[in-house]
């Protein structure tokens, strides 16, 4: 017979028990050490603090190489990267761009910022990336490009999307803010479509606090991207500019950020390998638990970096225990967040293009911008009832500690009747909306 202490230890934390096994020590993010300090001191002492210094040149070469891209360019941030990519493709007033409805708001906002029309499409229920069938249904004579988002730990189906784009003569922009280092059929994401964009914002797997990057294999597009980033100036050096001059502004990144990124890059491959190995452990172990389904990994995904590990939870198979209750119980169980995904753009409090007068190009355009015009049932169901997200830094640990996650899930499942009573007892205000 178990002692009272043993019985208490077996119970989930939300029911008064203790945490399962040894807790995972989640590192503070970002991770840094003397490498970052050494790189920054070199920039300080060099006196070259602005742009196109030696640190930036080295980082551009190394990161473009990591993504198997012919060209790479540092820019101010990931949103700017998207905007410049669209402008390089000459997309603007009167054009439509197909955008996933399940993404961070910047993906669609960049389209609005070039005066084009974002057309939102729903997600593939097994990856949460844009559904290729939905993309094809959304194409009209005004469509000029498709933005795909490689979301969390999944990659968009680039084979199908490129085939659709080729058949309809459309450009493809890859939003790779979550997928530094990932590969599709052995090619780095960002080098598969016409243009790739990346973010180095503070939560990203490669970070300088802020910053962005654009990749392309096309010489002419690179010349245009360079000019758009640098106040319309032409690039000097081995590439001789043949493109017309453009009106633009300053969207550059500094030598300070490049120095930080060079240091971050030194530990990036090891971090990526650790996360991929731990994700494979979770895929195998969680997939054996009723009502828990890892995201689909297509065979074309030949390397997977993760911005977050995501799995699908079935409220029905857990006797009606809500996904939000499961997220909270798992967060308490493990001592770090098991959170919700992004809110779909048709219900996001941050994607509100009709709040800026400069977007009121016409009454027709203004009315069409309303995100509420779109139904995104897969994304909405995932947000409210299904998706569970673990941030990437929580996977930077050993496999023994990662194995505590499925053990915690199993423990919750063993206490379902009591968990249902616990959820019913919670005040409505306990939940609050997940932050964006």
Q: Is residue 191 a part of any domain in this protein?
A: yes
Most confident of the following: 15-29, 155-169, 389-403: 155-169
**What's residue 61's pLDDT?**
98
Three-state SS at 81: helix
Q: Is residue 323 a part of any domain in this protein?
A: no
**What's residue 5's pLDDT?**
46
| Dihedral of alpha carbons 149, 150, 154, 157, sign | positive
| Dihedral of alpha carbons 402, 274, 390, 23, sign | positive
**What's residue 29's pLDDT?**
94
| Dihedral of alpha carbons 163, 119, 106, 378, sign | negative
**What's residue 239's pLDDT?**
52
Q: Is residue 366 a part of any domain in this protein?
A: no
Q: Is residue 122 a part of any domain in this protein?
A: yes
As to burial, measured by CB atoms within 10 angstroms (0-12 exposed, 13-18 middle, 19+ buried), residue 427 is: exposed
Q: Is residue 424 a part of any domain in this protein?
A: no
Token match 């006797």: residue?
Answer: 319
d(CA 370, CA 354): 7
Read off the pLDDT of residues 34-47 as tens digits, 9 standing for 90 and up: 999 999 999 999 99
Answer whether residue 8 shows pLDDT above 60. Answer: no
Q: Is 207 left (phi over 0), alpha (psi -120 to 50) or beta?
A: beta
How many structural domains are present in the chain?
Answer: 1
Q: Is residue 302 a part of any domain in this protein?
A: no
d(CA 131, CA 148): 10
What is each CA distance from 9 to 15, 67, 96, 344, in whole angstroms?
10, 47, 57, 38
Contacts of 198 (CB under 8 A, 6+ apart): 63, 78, 81, 176, 177, 180, 190, 206, 212, 213, 214, 215
**What's residue 6's pLDDT?**
43
Read off the pLDDT of residues 194-246 as tens digits, 9 standing for 90 and up: 999 999 999 999 999 999 999 999 999 999 999 999 998 888 765 555 667 88
Read off the pLDDT of residues 369-424 as tens digits, 9 standing for 90 and up: 999 999 999 999 999 999 999 999 999 998 889 999 999 999 999 999 999 999 99
Rounded to 10 degrees, the C-alpha dihedral 171/174/175/177 comes to -160
Q: Is residue 48 a part of any domain in this protein?
A: yes
**What's residue 28's pLDDT?**
85
Q: Which of 27, 8, 4 is nearest to 18 (CA)?
A: 8
**What's residue 245's pLDDT?**
80
Q: Which of 312, 326, 317 is nearest to 290 (CA)?
A: 317
Rounded to 10 degrees, the C-alpha dihedral 110/116/122/123 comes to -40
**What's residue 21's pLDDT?**
62
Q: Is residue 397 a part of any domain in this protein?
A: no
CATH number of residue 182's parent domain: 3.40.640.10
**What's residue 244's pLDDT?**
77
Answer whether residue 2 shows pLDDT above 50. Answer: no
d(CA 120, CA 97): 9
Answer whether residue 265 shows pLDDT above 60. Answer: yes
Rounded mean pLDDT of 281-304? 97
Answer whether residue 295 shows pLDDT above 60. Answer: yes
Within 198-345, residue ranges assigned H as helices are: 219-229, 255-286, 323-334
- Taking a C-beta distance cutoff of 8 angstroms, is the pair 212, 75 a contact? yes
d(CA 275, CA 305): 7
Largest CA distance in the chain: 82
CA atoms within 13 A on the CB side of 232: 6
Backbone angles phi, psi at 134, to 5 degrees: -65, -35
**What's residue 115's pLDDT?**
97
Answer whether residue 23 shows pLDDT above 80. Answer: no
Answer whether residue 4 shows pLDDT above 50. Answer: no
Rounded mean pLDDT of 270-292? 97
For 19-33, 54-68, 248-262, which range has the lowest pLDDT when averaged over its residues? 19-33
Answer whether residue 63 shows pLDDT above 50. Answer: yes
Domain residues for the domain of 217 are: 34-262
């Amino acid at each position: 017979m178990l002692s009272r202490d043993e019985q208490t230890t077996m119970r989930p934390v939300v029911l008064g028990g203790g945490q399962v096994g040894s807790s995972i020590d989640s590192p503070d993010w970002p991770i840094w050490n003397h490498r970052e300090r050494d790189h920054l001191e070199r920039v300080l002492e060099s006196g070259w603090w602005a742009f196109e210094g030696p640190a930036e040149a080295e980082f551009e070469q190394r990161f473009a190489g990591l993504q198997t891209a012919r060209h790479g360019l540092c820019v101010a941030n990931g949103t700017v990267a998207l905007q410049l990519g669209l402008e390089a493709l000459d997309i603007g007033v009167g054009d439509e761009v197909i955008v996933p409805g399940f993404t961070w708001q910047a993906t669609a906002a960049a389209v609005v910022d070039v005066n084009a029309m974002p057309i939102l499409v729903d997600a593939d229920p097994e990856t949460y990336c844009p559904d290729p069938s939905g993309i094809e249904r959304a194409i009209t004579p005004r469509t000029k490009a498709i933005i795909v988002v490689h979301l969390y730990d999944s990659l968009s189906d680039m084979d199908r999307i490129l085939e659709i784009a080729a058949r309809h003569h459309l450009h493809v922009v890859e939003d790779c803010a979550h997928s530094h280092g990932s590969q599709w059929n052995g090619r780095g994401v960002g080098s598969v479509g016409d243009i790739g964009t990346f973010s180095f914002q503070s939560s990203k797997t490669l970070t300088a606090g802020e910053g962005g990057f654009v990749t392309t294999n096309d010489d002419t597009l690179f010349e245009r991207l360079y000019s758009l980033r640098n106040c319309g100036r032409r690039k000097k050096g081995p590439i001789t500019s043949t493109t017309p001059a453009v009106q633009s502004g300053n969207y550059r990144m500094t030598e300070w950020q490049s120095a930080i990124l060079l240091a971050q890059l030194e530990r990036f491959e090891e971090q990526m390998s650790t996360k991929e190995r731990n994700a494979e452990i979770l895929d195998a172990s969680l997939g054996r638990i009723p009502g828990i389904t890892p995201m689909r990994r297509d065979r074309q995904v030949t390397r997977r970096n993760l911005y977050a590990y995501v799995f699908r939870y079935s409220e029905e198979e857990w006797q009606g225990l809500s996904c939000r209750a499961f997220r909270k119980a798992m967060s308490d169980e493990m001592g770090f967040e098991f959170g919700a995904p992004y809110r779909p753009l048709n219900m996001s409090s941050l994607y509100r293009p009709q709040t800026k007068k400069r977007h009121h190009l016409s009454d027709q355009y203004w009315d069409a911008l309303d995100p509420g015009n779109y139904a995104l049932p897969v994304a909405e169901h995932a947000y409210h009832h299904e998706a569970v997200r673990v941030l990437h830094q929580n996977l930077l640990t050993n496999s023994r500690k990662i194995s505590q996650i499925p053990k915690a899930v199993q423990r919750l499942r063993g206490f379902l009747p009591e968990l249902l009573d616990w959820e019913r007892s919670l005040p409505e205000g306990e939940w609050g909306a997940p932050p964006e």
